[in-house]
A and B are shown apart, each in its own frame.
Chain A
C-alpha cells in the first residue's frame, strides 16, 4: 500500500518533523487541554457527590439497574479495540499503512481501557469494597469470587488487555524515546535514558526488538477478539430478552472495531494539524483507515439484521417483543440514531470522493462514535425497561450526574492523550522510517512544494 503513497518527506525529516512540534504545539492544543481539564473536573465533582450521597443520584431505578455507566464502559472498551487491531493484527498482516497511525491508536487504546476500567467502579453501589472484593485475593475466610459470573471474567479480560496493550505500546515507544534522549541534555536526558532502557540501536538490539514485537503482536491478537466477547457475555449470559443471544460476541467485536477505527480517525485528524504531522500521516493512510471502517460498518449492519431475524425465528415471544419495541417502542429514537449512524451514514464511504474528503469523513466518523454509544445504550436500556413481567416495566432517562460523569470520562481520556502527545511522539518514528522512502534512493519521492 505504501507504494502508492506520495511522500513529501524523507526519513531524515522524521525526527525533526515529529519531535519539534511537541515542544511548541499549535494554539489549538492549549484550548483542547483546557477543555478536557474542565470536563474532567465536572466528572470528578459528580462522582464525588455520587460516592457521598449514593447511587440515587443517577437516573437508574428498578427495573433499569444498568444505564449510562455501563454504556460508557462498553463504549470505552470498544474504543480501546482499534489500537490492538491496528498495531497487532495489521502488523501481522504487514499492512504497512498502519505504521503512521499505530502509535496514536495504541495510545488511544491504553487511555480508553483505563477510562473503561473506571466505569464499573463508578457504577457499583459500594465502590469502597468493590475494588478489592472483585479480585480473587486469598483470605482466611475462604471467600472467593464467583468464577461463574461474567463480571469476574470482565475483571480478568480488561486487566489482561490493559497489561498487554501497555507493554505493546511501551515497547514500540522505546526506540523513539531513545531518539528523544539523544536530542536533549541534562536531567531530561537522564529520564529519557532511564525510560529507553539503554537503547542504542545496535543491530543485536533491533534483532531482539523485532522478534519480541512480533511475539507480542501474536499474543495481543486473540485479545482483540476475547475482550469484547467477554464484555458481551455480561449481557449474553443473563436470561434477559434482547441480551441472551449467541450472536453477541462477534457482533460486539465488530462494533468495537468500528467504533475504534472511527475514533482513531476522529483523533488523528485534529492531532495531525495540532502537531503539524501532515507530512507523515498521509491522506492515503487516512483513506485506508476509512476503508477499514466501512468494512466493519457492513459487518455491524449485517449483525443488526441477523439479530432481528434470530429474534423472530426463535419464536420466543419475549425476545421478539423486545426487538419490536426497539424499533417502534418508546426508545425507538435511540435505535434509529444507532442504525443511521452505524449503518446508513458509513455507506457514503463507498464513494472514493467522500473517502478522500477529510471533513466529510471526520463528520461521519464522529457520527459513528455517537451511533456506537447509542448502540450500547439501546441494547442496555431497551432490554431492561420492558422485559418479562409487564407489571414491573419502567422507564429510564440519565440524570445530570450520569451525564456529568460521562462528560468527565471524555475529559479524563483526552487529558491523558493530550499530555502524552505533548511529551512523546504521536507517530511512531522508528516504524514510520520503515515505510518511508530512503533519502539516497529518491526514486519514489516526488517533492511537492517546499514542505516542512
Chain B
C-alpha cells in the first residue's frame, strides 16, 4: 500500500488514509454487510423530515474520544463546521457532505443537519469510512500543523506512531465498547496493535507476505490470487469493487459515433468474458450497464436487456446504417472506411489490443493511441477523443450524474451526453430519499444509458485481500477489512 499524505481526514484525498483512520474513528451510520441497507452506528437513531431537508441524528452516549473528549452533538457540529470552512481546504470530506446548509446541536445528544435540497447520496455518504468521523477540536488546536501526524478519534484503535516512509502503528483503545451492531465482539478489539506498512511495489508486498513479514496484503493483483487460494496457509477475502473496472466511452460529438447503430454494433462486437479472462485472470464480472451489482440501485434486469456479444447483429446494424465491407474487410460508407482512434493509458494496453481485434472482426478499424494518464484525462474531458477506456469507483449511483448529466460536459461527462429525459432522472435520483423510489429512478437511468449505448461497459472488478491463517476472523465491511473480531494464533 501507499503511504498516506496525512491522517487529518479533512485534508486527505487518499483512500488509504480513510482505511487507516477508520480504525481511529467511527461513522454516524453504517451499511449492513448482508442487506446493503443503512443502519445506525455512532448515531443510535436517525430521522429524515417529510420534505427531506432535515436529518436529525441521536448521538450514542458513553463514547469518548482518545484524548478524553466525550462524544456529543457539539463535537459533530464542530467537525462538520471545520469541513465546511473553506480555510480548512477539505476535499473529499467536503464533497461527501456537499449540499449541507448548516448543522446544529440543540442539546448534547441531538445533531441536526439542514439541507438546501433533499439529498439521497448524503445518508450513504455518512457511512463512508474515515472521512466523516468526529474529531477533537482540542487536539487539532494543540497539534496545529502537525495534527495530521497526531490524529485523535473515537475508534477501536489509537494512533501510536508514524515512521516516515515505513509504517503507521495503531494500538488498541482499551476503553472501546461501541462497535457496530454486526460485530460478534461488542467490547474492545482483540488485536493489541495494527501496523500498516507502506510497500509500494506489489511483488515486494507479496514477497513480504510469503516471508511472514506481513500478515495481510491489500489490493492483491488478480493474477496472483489463485496461488494463495491453493495454499493452505492463507485465506483470500474478496469483494466486488464499487465501480466499473473497465468501460469504453464513445464521443457522441463525433459524426460517425453519433449514429446509434454504430455504437450498438461496437457493444455487440466486444467479448467481455474473453477480456476478463485475459486481463484480470477471470476474476471479475461482465458489466452490461453503467453501475455494478455492488452499488446501490443496480437493476439486475440490465443483464437481460444489455447488449450481448452478437457479431452478425453488429454487422447487420452497420449495414442498416449504409456501411458495406470493402476488399480490406473494413466497413465503408461513401468511400470512407469505418476507423476510430482508441485513446488509452498504458495500463489498458492489453484490453485495447483485444478490443481492436474484436472490432476488426465486424469490420471496424481501430488505432490505439497510448497516452500519459494526465494528458489522456485532460483530452477526454475536453472531448478531444473518439473512443477511450476508463474505470471509476464510487459508493453511490449519484456518480451517474457526474458521468452523464449535460451540466458535466467538460468534466466527467466525457461522452458529452445531452439527454433531457436523462438529466431529469439524474436530478430526481439525487433528491429522492425513499430507497425503493430511488431504485426505480436509477433503473430507468440504467435503461436509457444502455439503450443509447453511450458506453460499452466491459467488467466490474473484485478487490482481493490475502490473509495469513495465523490471523483469524478478519472480516469484510463495506469493501474494507474489519479487525474487530480478529485474533492472532500464537
Is the pairing of A and B real? Answer: no
Interface residues of B (CB under 8 A from A): none
